[in-house]
Amino acid sequence: MSTVDLRVNIGGLQLKNPVLTASGTFGYGIEFQSFGDLNALGGVVVKGTTLEPRAGNPPQRVVETAAGMLNSIGLENPGVDYFLEHYLPQLRSLGVTTIVNMAGNSVAEYCELAERLQQPGIAALELNISCPNVKAGGMAFGTSEKLVEEVVSQVKEHSRLPLIVKLSPNVTDIARIAQAAEAAGADALSLINTLLGMAVDHRTRRPILGNVVGGLSGPAIKPVALRMVWQVAQAVQIPVIGIGGIMTAADALEFIICGASAIQVGAANFVEPVAAWQIIDGIAAYLKENGMTDIKQLIGSLEI
C-alpha cells in the first residue's frame, strides 16, 4: 500500500486532506508561501474579516503563557473591500482552497458580509459567533441558542457557500449551542475558539493586555477542546472541525478519533511555520502504519 485517501467532505466542501490553518494564525496564507506549497494544505482559513477596516485593540496584544498564548488582537483587519481587491486574487491564482472567517456586530453586518463574499475563489465561509451583538447589549452571539439560530439562519439566506459555524467554548453546554446551529442550517461546525483569560504583572499590579482580557490558545486548551469536540460530534449529524492546541500529527489524530472530520492548526504556526504540512504527512504515515486506506476509517473511532 503506497497511498492513503485523505479526502474529506465538510458540508459539501471537498478537501484534499483534513488539515486547515486556523483564522488569525496564518495571515492570509500568502505570508507562508516560502514555507511550503499552500495548495497542498486542505485549505486556508484567512484572518477574520469585517465589513469595515478595524484597528483592533490597544497594545499589549499578545502574552506568552506556560503552555500557550493569550491574544487580544481585536479583529484588526483591512476590511472586506481590501481583502477582495488585494488578497483574494493572489489566493485564487495559487489555487488555494480559501475559507473566509467573517465577523460582525449585528445580524445585518453578517448578512452583508456573506453577500459580499459570494466570489469566485472563496470555497466556504466560517462564521465567527464569538463576536458581541451590539443590539443584545454586547452578549456574544455564540453564548445564546436563540442568537445562534437567528444569525445562522439569516446568513444562510444570503449565501450559497458552505457555512461553517465556529463555536465559542465560553458557554455552559456547547452541545446545545451546536444543535442550535445545526437546526438553523449550518453545514459544519468548527470548535473551539479561544478560552477567555487574562494575565497580570505582579510588579505593577496591572493587567498585561491592553484590553485586560484575551483569548487563550495553544496546548493549554487541548484537553478542553478535545472534550468539546467529542461531545459535539455525538450531538450533531453535520461535520465537525477540531481546533485547540494541535501541535503535532498525534494531536490531530486524537481529534479525528474523537469525531472531527477535519482539524485546524493555530498557535503551532507561530512556533513551527511548517507545522500544518508536517501534520498532513504524519496523518498519512499513521494510516499506513495501521493498515488503513482511508481517513474516514479513523473519524469517530474512539472506543469507550
Is 111 tagged catalytic? Answer: no
**Please, what is the angle between helix 275-289 and helix 249-257, to 10°?**
60
CA distance 4 to 2: 7
DSSP-derived 3-state class of residue 152:
helix
Among 96, 100, 124, 131, the active-site one is 131
Residues 258-277 as b/e (b if ≥16 CB within 10 A, e otherwise) read bbbbbbbbbbbbbebeebbb
Among residues 74, 17, 23, 9, the alpha carbon closest in space to that of 41 is found at 17
Tell me the DSSP string of 251-287: HHHHHHHTT-SEEEE-THHHH-TTHHHHHHHHHHHHH
> Per the structure block, which three cell numbers stand in for 70?
493569550
> Per the structure block, which three cell numbers stand in for 148?
445562534
Cell numbers 480559501 correspond to: 98
Q: How many CA atoms lie within 13 A of 91 on its CB side?
A: 27
| Dihedral Cα 174, 156, 42, 289, nearest 10 deg | 50
Peptide bond into 60 cis (omega under 30): yes
Q: Which residues are part of the catalytic machinery?
A: 131
